[in-house]
Structure 1
């Protein structure tokens, strides 16, 4: 029995992809994952470019970015199709995108509720804004939470260390 199973349930969660398919987080077991709440009309939206750069640079080494659009801060209006269009056309995103979710409150996606209990931010467990980032190891442990202003390039060194590339 895996001793971490009860304390790190990341791989027990599931979410709906932006194309409407059910995806088990267990698909990412053994991979370093950066989970991000994204938005298409936010001052931080250009971070999609940096997130894609990280994804491209480290995917072959066992790293994946997972983008979860949220309109809880009123910065991602429209449908999942609209969000996907902006991400893929304007920012050339190829990393996995999920269906729009809530990240706070009673309707928050269970994965996001769990991540917030693992690593509280400056305002406690709540997500303060779009582009909050959670780095999760291959065992499903939340290693670090990064505030929205932290540019993806600043996470590269930690990713390299976790992947044994440094």
Structure 2
């Protein structure tokens, strides 16, 4: 199994398969626009701009599981774009933990056990996915996106 087996939904309601990113390196992050870590949006956008041509895509997945997100997916995406200049794909607001968790996040948390006890602890947990669709690394909320650069560069250097 890999992330290519999952379907996700953009903020506008358009569903698609993550298979469209086959061969790319991904950073998947659960987000919240009212979180104290929201300034990480700007750093994630910088990574996206700096490495997109080399094969990196950042995917934002807002969640209100920690009660720090706006009321709608469209509002959250607009806030990301206007406040932080986000151009990377944003998705619908959905839970990242528990029985109602998005299947993608259930998979991501299971792939990073036992190091993180299977749960997303807070907003801006980041997952680095290699070119084969497998979880390469999980980063805690407190880890700034720029600290991921050596791992991103190593993943980009791998052959498909």
- TM-score interval w.r.t. the shorter chain? over 0.9
CA distance 1:111–1:11, change in 2 (3 Å): same
Deviation at 1:123, TM superposition (A): 4.6
2: CA distance, partners of 1:67 / 1:121: 24
Checking the alignment, whether the CA contact within 8 Å between 2:131 and 2:155 is kept in structure 1 is no
Task: State the partner residue of 2:143.
Answer: 150
Which runs of 4 or more aligned residues in structure 1 lie more than 2 Å from their structure 2 counterparts after TM superposition?
Answer: 120-123
Please, which runs of 5 or more residues in structure 1 have no aligned partner?
1-7
**1:104-129 residue CA offsets vs partner (Å, 9 max, x unmatched):** 00000001001111013755001000
Q: TM-score, normalised by structure 1?
A: 0.92
Task: State the partner residue of 1:5.
Answer: none
2: CA distance, partners of 1:28 / 1:105: 26
Q: TM-score, normalised by structure 2?
A: 0.95
Is 1:38 equivalent to 2:31 in the alignment? Answer: yes
Please, which runs of 5 or more residues in structure 2 have no aligned partner?
none
Deviation at 1:77, TM superposition (A): 2.6
**Secondary structure of 1:74's match?**
coil
**1:34-65 residue CA offsets vs partner (Å, 9 max, x unmatched):** 00001000010000000000000000000000
Deviation at 1:78, TM superposition (A): 1.1
TM-align CA RMSD: 1.3
1:34-73 alignment runs, 5 A limit: 34-73=27-66
Number of paired residues?
158
